[in-house]
Amino acid sequence: MSGDGFFDVPSDLQHSYLGLVALHLQEALIPVAGGLVLALLLAQLCVRYGWLYPPVLWGTTIFYAIPSLAIFVILIDYTGQSRTTVMIPLTLYTLVVLVPAIVDGIRSVPEETQAAATAMGFGAWRRYLRVELPIAVPAIFAGLRGATAASISLVSVGALIGNQGALGNMLTDAMFYHRPMLAVSSVVTTAVLAVLADALLVLGRNLLTPWLPRGGRSGTPAAVLPGARTDTREKLGSSR
């Protein structure tokens, strides 16, 4: 009794609609979380040792230039046609946005603030956690928003290496059975997930930065043009 409704998923996908959504979120968000941890470490190193920043930036940019499908395919040899194969490149992709976002965020902390923290007896580690990171929160979240959107969109490509694309698997089935509704459902659901995730990130940023002015359109450029700052940073960073 398979219909052609928005939520009807062919049985060969072995998941319900909601199951695919959960799988998609898992495949998209674990890489973002992993990428954030990696980026926090790398960025801290880059701030501490300035000479490290340009090579790291170039390395991530060059890795980002390799198409996801190509990396999936090459990884198959090592990790098989599994979710890991999809999640490894997605994790590394996030670094291209997250590392510059965090480094620039931390570098934007004023000297006086740093000095004040040191004068209050903060050690390097405590200063990082209690002063530098909180001030860098808006920049980090701008990066996270870009990385999350890209990750959610890219998971679908995993469908091409043997049904590892979660909601993207509906796309290959749409072609296979010629059921356009499946493709509509996949695209709309993925886009809605991206928008929801973005809204949650904005909410999270606002909760973490209670000291920033709210509501007005007259705030920082980041408030005027969401997402733009990330690109700007990335561009500026790698053209240096």
Partner 1 sequence: MNVLHFISAFFGDGAHWHGYDGIPQRLWEHVQYSLAALGIAAAIGLPVGLVTGHTGRGGNALGMVANAARSLPSFGLLVLMFLAFGIGLTPVMIPLVVLAIPPILVTTYEAVRSVDPSPVDAARGLGMHEAKILLRVELPVALPMILGALRTAAIQIISTATIAAYVSLGGLGRFVIDGLYQRDYEKVVGGATLVAALALLTLGTFWLAGRLAVSPGVRRR
| CB of residue 78 to partner 1, shortest distance in Å | 9
The SS3 of residue 5 is coil
Q: Are 101 and 150 in contact (CB under 8 A)?
A: no
Residue 239 interacting with partner 1 (CB under 8 A): yes
| CB of residue 189 to partner 1, shortest distance in Å | 9
Closest CA to 135 of 164, 119, 111: 111
The residue from 26, 61, 82, 206 that contacts partner 1 (CB under 8 A) is: 61
Q: Tell me, residue by residue from 149 to 168, as one string, x for binding to partner 1 by CB under 8 A and - for no binding.
A: x--xxx-xx-xxx---x-xx
The residue from 18, 41, 70, 124 that contacts partner 1 (CB under 8 A) is: 70
> What Rg do the C-alpha atoms of the chain give, in angstroms?
20
Alpha helix (H) residue ranges in 49-123: 53-64, 68-79, 83-107, 111-119
Q: How many residues does the chain have?
A: 240
Residues 6+ away with beta carbon under 8 Å from 72: 85, 86, 89, 157, 158, 160, 161
- Contact window for partner 1 (CB under 8 A) among 48-56, 63-71, 84-92, 105-113: 63-71
| CB of residue 14 to partner 1, shortest distance in Å | 20
Q: Tell me, residue by residue from 174 to 213, as one string, x for binding to partner 1 by CB under 8 A and - for no binding.
A: xx--x-x--xx-xx--xx--xx--x---------------
Residue 225 interacting with partner 1 (CB under 8 A): yes
The SS3 of residue 216 is coil
Q: Return the C-alpha torsion angle 158, 160, 162, 168, nearest 10.
A: 50
Residues at the interface with partner 1 (CB under 8 A): 61-62, 64-71, 73-74, 76-77, 149, 152-154, 156-157, 159-161, 165, 167-168, 171-172, 174-175, 178, 180, 183-184, 186-187, 190-191, 194-195, 198, 217, 221, 224-229, 231-232, 234-236, 238-239
